[in-house]
Structure 1
Amino acid sequence: MAPPRSNSSGGGPSGGILASFSRFWQRTYASDYIGFVLLLVCYLLIQFFVEPFHRMFSLNDLRISFPHAEVERVPLLHDFIYALFIPLGLVTATNLITRAPRHKHHVTILGLAISLILASLLTDIIKNAVGRPRPDLLARCLPAPGTPRDQLVTVAACTQTGHHKLHDGWRSFPSGHSSFAFAGLGYLALFLAGQMRIFAHAGAGNLGEHAQKVVRGDLVRALVCGAPLLGATMIAISRCQDYRHDVYDVGVGGLLGYTVGYWSYRRYWPRLGSGRCEEPYAGPPEAGEDGVGGGRGGYGRLGDEEEGLARGRNVGIELGALRM
Structure 2
Amino acid sequence: MAPDSNRLEQGATTTAAGEGSWRVHVHLPKRLIVSYILDWVLIIGIALIGYGFSRVSPNHRPFSLTDPSISFPHRDRDTVSVSVVAVVALIVPAVIILWEWNAGWLGLAIALAGTWMATEGLKDLFGKPRPDMLARCDPDLSKINAFAVSGLGSRLDGAPTLVTWEICRNQARELAVDGFSSFPSGHSSFAFAGLTYLTLWLCTKLSIGFPYLAHSPLSPDLQKQERSTIRKQGAAPPVYLLVIVFVPLAVAFFIAASRWFDYRHHGFDIIFGSVMGIVFAWIGFRLYHLPVMRGAGWSWGARDGTHAFFRSVGLPSHVCADNWATARYTSTGVETRDQDVDLESGRKAARD
Q: Distance in 1 between matches of 2:125 and 2:70?
A: 19
Per-residue deviation, 1:287 = 6.7
Structure 2: stretches of 5+ with no match in the other structure:
1-28, 145-152, 154-159, 216-221, 310-314, 324-340, 348-352
Q: Distance in 2 between matches of 1:287 and 1:79?
A: 40
Question: Which amino acid in 1 is paired with 2:297?
Answer: E
Q: Distance in 1 between matches of 2:111 and 2:296?
A: 19
1:37 is aligned, of 44, 47, 53, to 44
Structure 1: stretches of 5+ with no match in the other structure:
1-21, 96-103, 312-324
Closer/same/farther in 2, CA of residues 159 and 302 from structure 1, 3 Å limit = farther
Q: Distance in 1 between matches of 2:130 and 2:319?
A: 43
Asked whether 1:68 is paired with 2:88, we answer: no
Q: Which residue of 1 aligns with 2:318?
A: 300
Per-residue deviation, 1:172 = 0.6
Q: Which residue of 1 aligns with 2:205?
A: 195
Q: Distance in 1 between matches of 2:234 and 2:34?
A: 37
TM alignment of 1:110-121, pairs within 5 A: 110-121=106-117
Q: Distance in 1 between matches of 2:128 and 2:74?
A: 16
Residue deviations 1:111-142 (CA, integer Å, cap 9, x gap): 11221111011011111111111101101111
Larger helix proportion of the pair: 1
Q: Which residue of 1 aligns with 2:285?
A: 265
Contact 1:84 1:184 in 2 (8 A): yes
Contact 2:74 2:132 in 1 (8 A): yes
Q: CA RMSD in A?
A: 2.9
Q: Which residue of 1 aligns with 2:91?
A: 85
Q: Which residue of 2 aligns with 1:54?
A: 60
Q: Which residue of 2 aligns with 1:233?
A: 253
Q: Distance in 1 between matches of 2:255 and 2:75?
A: 16
Q: Give aligned-pair identity as a percent.
A: 30
TM alignment of 1:5-44, pairs within 5 A: 24=31, 28-44=35-51
1:141 is aligned, of 113, 131, 137, to 137
Query: Which of the two has higher C-alpha Rg?
Result: 2
Contact 1:285 1:299 in 2 (8 A): no
Q: Secondary structure at the match of 1:29?
A: helix
Q: Distance in 2 between matches of 1:141 and 1:51?
A: 16
TM-score, normalised via structure 2 length: 0.70
Per-residue deviation, 1:164 = 3.5
Larger strand proportion of the pair: 2
Q: Which residue of 1 aligns with 2:269?
A: 249
